[in-house]
Chains A and B, each alone.
Chain A
Amino acid sequence: MSTDTHDALAAFAATAASAVTACATLEPRARARSLAEAGLIGVLADEAVGGLALGLDHAVPVLHAVGAGLLGYPLLESMLLADALGERPEAARIVLGEATATIAWSGRASLATGRLSGTVGRAPMGDTADLILVPTADGAALVDATGPGVSIRAGGGLDVEAPECDVVLAGAAALCVLDGAAVAAIGQGAQLLRAAAIGGAVETCLAAAVAYTSTRVQFGKPLVSFQALRHAMSRQKLAAEHIAAAIARSLMRPDDRMARAAAFATATRFGAAAVESALQLHGGMGFTWDIPMHRHLRRIRAWEAQGDAAGLHRRLAADLLAANA
């Protein structure tokens, strides 16, 4: 990696971290405008719609900050959707923060003569979205979330920062459609960016565990002096390094399907365990609403479900069997 690229990525990380912090006190719509002003929603999007047309390597530090700072905004979905929409006017509205956008990650709507019906789910912050991308048999369709034939209800997922919603469609109009290749690209980008966000969450939780165990005194000495706890934090560090290594490898090998799958699979498997361990090290405090460990854990579990980690593992195993018949 060149020094210039390295500096650019570091600048993105810093911008993203401060923008995420600033969002904490804003309402969802104001968050959209604030993130747009920081240039973050359009990182991937076409320059014609106000985007920066950069690669996923530049989106990775942004999502790392999203995970580290518990951003309550579907930035991953907004970035990928704005990119996939190309030069369409909806893309410009998303990039500028004029429209809030999200993606329903589960289920499939039926599309006939431009009308959508059925129930799709796992749309982060679907209740405050203007635009929602819903999966269909051939790809996906964009709907106006506030238009006729669209109703939004709470989805029952674990995440409290960007709560998942179900989208019930009854003859809603498709604003536009994306083909299967475009939807596959969104899915691939999302897996990598979820891994980045989980990596950010793990590093935040590890730092919190180090800080807490270094100051909390029990049995007459700081908790950090107990080897069992030190080793638990070493394993959290190992998880963070696994995730970073898998993401870096995926970025280096964009055409390597296994490397791409590994980034997300590594993040969900080792990331969830690391945050559970960080929570454990906070003792009873970790179990309370006051300490944000549970919020990170909830999000990781939601990302794991949105990316269908279980299905991904099934497919990897099926491919292994097919290749060794």
Chain B
Amino acid sequence: MTTDTLPPGVSGETYRTHVRAWLAAHVPEGIRVDLPGYREPDLEACRGFEAALHKGGLAGITWPVEYGGHGLSIREHLIANQEIGRLGLPESINSLGKELAGPIILAIGTEAQKQRFLRPLLEMKQIWCQGFSEPGAGSDLAGLRTRAVRDGDNWRVSGRKIWTSASPWSDRCLLLARTGALEDRHKGLALFAMRMDAPGVTMQPIRQIDGSAHFAEVILEDVPVDGADALGAPDEGWSAAVRVLSIERATNRMYRAWRFENEVSHLVRACRADATLAGILGSGEHHRRLAEILVDIEIIKGYVEPTVERLAEGAAIGDRGSLMKLHWSEAHQRFAVLALELLDQAPPDAGPEVAAARQRFQHIYLRGRAETIYAGTTEVQLGIIADRMLKLPRER
């Protein structure tokens, strides 16, 4: 049996068997960050690997077959994420397409839009970025000012977007723009699938904490947007998007707990490869914090697995995504601090395992600072819990 593509009729544990076999056969040499011989993959290598993941049935898992998906349930989505998470594989370069734009198009897109956008996205022929935040509207998206005005059947968009992840190499932008008055706040906001090569789009890369420039400020000067690229009605794009977002917050990067385990194992292995670090680990000085990290990972699983079951049964998950987001982001930051603290005690002649681990965990430490900021800051999540879950009275 070839494992290149998803055999028909698999589900549940037979699906897991397929996923394991596929990963064993198709993960390219040198792409696993937790193994010796790791080389950071370039854009084309990531694109090729992710396209292969889709072909093998490990991406687009729950999307309908007619749009290039595999028509399986969220339980299989969890299985794939567990198996992918266990290996130190690169982050998706099209996560905003797969986890944000795609689900929104599935929810509110027209039949023609689903046909046009979903399959190319899974096949990595179209990479998406997100155009929500603005220089003057970060956490408070209701204050955004980018305007979309009618131009016959089409639209013209002007404004500035910031923190637009993946924009240097993306083809389409999931753009949130105002069609009504600024005073309308959340009303009168529309979503568009804007072409990034349209005239009037310019990008100023923003160098990030780790030195990379995966973000940009995107300046939109009277950019023409085809009427067929408007997602949902002009005044309901945002409310539909919010519904999708509340699920996405709970389900995106579902592999997180298992990737986190991979990181912890890698850290311990690297430390044990060096006599000095092995001695420090063995002293017991860090035992409490190491054990707490293992428990933190169990808590993430304790949120993810029931969420999958609830969604599989068609039940609502409400604001529970906020609980999980708050926890994993802070837990991951705690872990990164411990990893740095341990590895920074390595002697100058430590071997290549320690050097590779330092590189990985320095990167995780720095990038991790964003985890309590993006997808709703820690403070926003605490506000959601106070307002919507505890229903605390507001100031009169």
Tell me the A residues contacting B by CB distance below 8 Å.
210, 214, 221-222, 224-225, 227, 230-231, 233-235, 237-238, 241-242, 245-246, 248-249, 252, 258-259, 261-262, 265-266, 269, 310, 312-314, 316-318, 320-321, 323-325
Contact = CB atoms under 8 A, between A and B. Distances in A.
A162 B393 CA distance: 36
Interface stretch (B24-32, B76-84, B98-106, B261-269): B261-269
B386 A269 contact: no
Contact of B286 (A214, A246, A269, A317): A317
A272 B264 CA distance: 26
10 contacts: A210-B390, A224-B393, A233-B386, A234-B381, A234-B390, A245-B302, A252-B305, A317-B291, A321-B281, A324-B268
Contact of B299 (A222, A224, A242, A314): A242
Contacts of B303: 245
A320 B302 CA distance: 20
A266 B382 contact: no
Given A214-B393, A259-B298, A324-B272, A231 B290 contact: no
A235 B394 CA distance: 18
A238 B269 contact: no
Contacts of B327: 238, 242
Contacts of B265: 323-324
Interface string B370-396: 000000000101110110011011111
Nearest to B265: A324
Contact of B385 (A210, A238, A258, A318): A238
B301 interface: yes
A318 B294 CA distance: 12
B292 interface: yes
Contacts of A323: 265
Contacts, number: 119
Band of interface residues on B: 35 or more
A210 B392 contact: yes
Given A210-B392, A245-B302, A249-B305, A317 B379 contact: no
A241 B382 contact: no
Contacts of B396: 221, 225
A317 B287 contact: yes
A144 to B, nearest CB: 39
Contact of A314 (B291, B301, B389): B291
A76 B327 CA distance: 30
Given A233-B386, A313-B287, A321-B282, A249 B392 contact: no
B326 interface: yes
Contacts of B393: 214, 222, 224-225
B323 interface: yes
Given A230-B392, A238-B326, A317-B290, A266 B295 contact: yes
Contact of B302 (A210, A248, A314): A248
Contacts of B379: 231
Nearest to B284: A314
Nearest to A252: B305
Contacts of A325: 272
Interface string B303-328: 10110000000000000100100110
B263 to A, nearest CB: 12
Interface in B257-286: 264-265, 268-269, 272, 281-282, 284, 286
A313 B381 CA distance: 29
A324 B261 CA distance: 12
Contact of A241 (B264, B295, B323): B323
A238 to B, nearest CB: 6
Given A230-B383, A262-B302, A265-B291, 19 more contacts: A214-B393, A225-B393, A227-B383, A231-B386, A237-B389, A237-B390, A238-B326, A242-B302, A245-B306, A246-B299, A249-B306, A252-B305, A262-B298, A265-B295, A269-B292, A316-B291, A321-B282, A324-B265, A324-B269
Nearest to A235: B382
A238 B323 contact: yes
Nearest to A312: B291
A316 B306 CA distance: 24
Contacts of A259: 298, 301
Contacts of A225: 393-396
Contacts of B323: 238, 241-242
Contacts of A269: 292, 295
Contact of B288 (A222, A249, A313): A313
A266 to B, nearest CB: 6
A249 B386 contact: no
Contact of A318 (B287, B301, B392): B287
Nearest to B299: A242
A210 B393 CA distance: 9
Contacts of A321: 268, 272, 281-282
A233 B283 CA distance: 37
Contacts of B320: 241
